[in-house]
Amino acid sequence: MALLKSAFFQLLLFSLLLAAVSKGLLNPYQQLILTYVAINVILATSLNLVNGCCGQFSLGHAGFMAIGAYVSGMLSFYLHPFSGALQFLNFPLYAVAAGAAAGVAGLLVGIPSLRLRGDYLAIVTLGFGEIIRVILLNMESVGGARGLYGIVGPQNLFVGSVVAFFMAGATWTILWRLTQSSYGRAFLSVREDEVASECMGVNTTRTKVFAFVVSSFFAGVGGSLFAHTTNYLNPSSFQFMKSVDVVIMVVLGGMGSMTGAVMAALIVTILPEALRPLQEYTGLDLRMVIYSLCLILLMILRPQGLLGTREWKDLWIWWKQRRRA
């Protein structure tokens, strides 16, 4: 019985179910899109930890994603302990390694940067993100400017979906538990008033760095999934635009809301695909124009995003209250 209640088992069941349902209802391309949704969920929830819960504005998420992606890709060339039917077990391994590498990078970047506030932190993280990209661009051993070809992926789309959903679910669970814990309280206090929390005995620097490292870890995990889904890596996929994409997801969902981040990841991934026919009709690629216009309007009309700082529990309560009224 305890097994059934364990998070691991529930996650596994959830991933299998979701993958089976999507396989039944959707065509292969749409299943692929759902895998991208999973990747974006991982990225959005991890950035939400730093930007939303901790109130530190980081614009360098793409850099950590890149580190995770490249580490995972390179590792998959040299190390594959499982093969055949169990090949899918390789990917969690790569993901953890990728996350660890990205986490270390997060530590190195975070310690000097997190002394700065607001705009300055944003600029520095932007700078680090770009430096990571340029370093990867110049490393011939990982393909440099031409990119890394032929990275292995899961043996078929179904297995790939299961792995992706499992990782997204695991990320959500871990981050959710973190925000509900005393660490989560520390993040929130730093967000609300740094000076006051320092006075109350919260080591703000340590808290901020911790949030940053955890966020980078999961960015690396997201990058690893990205590498094995697209089978090809190029530093140009990790430019500033990618960081902005993830920021848009966090802002749209509501900075500080994990549920919002998931919803926003869903919307942001599916919207360009849904708008693709528009491109065929008009001959112009208006998707990004609509995208950016939505961002501006969002900030002017509803800056708290879709959910503000509310989570699914709050939505549930709100729904029940409405029903009662």
Partner 1 sequence: MKNQILGVLIASGLTLLGCTKNSTSENANEIKIGEFGAMTGPEATFGQSTDKAIRLALDAVNAAGGVNGKKIRLITEDDQGKTDEAAAVVKKLITQDQVVAILGEVASSRSRAAASIAQQFKIPMITPSSTNPEVTRGKDYVFRVCFIDPFQGSVLAQFAVKNLKAKKVAVLKDLKSDYSLGLTEFFMKKYKELGGKITSVQNYQAGDTDFKAQLTDIRGEKPDVLFIPGYYTDVGLIARQAKQLGLKAVMLGGDGWDSPKLFEIGGAAIQGAYFSTHYTTSSPDEDTQKFIKAYKEKYNEIPDSLAALGYDAALILVDALKNAKDLSAAEIRDAIAKTKDFKGVTGKITIDADHNADKNAVVVQVEGNELKFVTSIGR
Partner 2 sequence: MEEFLQHVLNGLNLGAIYALIALGYTMVYGVLQLINFAHAEVYMLGAFSVYYANRLFHFSDHPGWQSFIASLAVAMVVCSLVGLLIERLAYRPLRNAPRLNVLITAIGVSLFLQFSGQALFGADPKLFPEVLRDAQLMRFGEIQLSSFDFTILGVSLAAMAALHFFIQHTKVGMAIRAVRFNQKSAALMGINVNGMISVVFILGSSLAGVGAVLVGLKYPKIDPLMGMLIGLKAFVAAVVGGIGSLPGAVVGGLLMGLCEEMVAGYLSSTYRDALAFGLLIVILVFKPSGIFGKSQVEKV
Binding mask 125-164 for partner 2 (x = CB under 8 A): -xxx-xx--xx-xx------x-------------------
Nearer to partner 2, 20 or 299 (CB): 299
Smallest gap from Cβ 109 to partner 2, in A, equals 9
Sign of CA dihedral 122, 209, 173, 225: positive
Rounded distance, CA 171 to CA 33, Å? 19
Binder to partner 2 among 284, 322, 323, 325 (CB under 8 A)? 284
Let me know: does 46 contact 58? Beta carbons within 8 Å: no
Task: Choose one: 16-24, 43-51, 95-103, 297-305; the region binding partner 1 (CB under 8 A).
Answer: 297-305
Residue 102 partner contact from partner 2, partner 1, none using kind-dependent CB cut-offs of 5 to 8 Å: none
**Number of residues in contact with partner 2, rule: CB under 8 A?**
40
- If binding is defined by CB under 8 A, does position 301 make contact with partner 1? yes
Smallest gap from Cβ 126 to partner 1, in A, equals 20
Scan residues 262-291 and list those touching partner 1 (CB under 8 A). Answer: 274-278, 285
Give exposure, 187-222, as e/b (b: 16+ Cβ within 10 Å).
bbbbbeebeebeeeebebeebbbbbbbbbbbbbbbb
Smallest gap from Cβ 292 to partner 2, in A, equals 4
Q: How far is CA 58 from CA 106, 211, 294, in A?
A: 11, 11, 21
Binder to partner 1 among 230, 243, 257, 259 (CB under 8 A)? 230
Let me know: does 188 contact 49? Beta carbons within 8 Å: no
Q: Which phi and psi (to 5°) does residue 148 adopt?
A: -105, 115
3 state DSSP class of 233? strand
Give the binding site for partner 1 (CB under 8 A).
Answer: 27-30, 32, 144-147, 149-150, 230-234, 236-237, 274-278, 285, 294, 297, 301-302
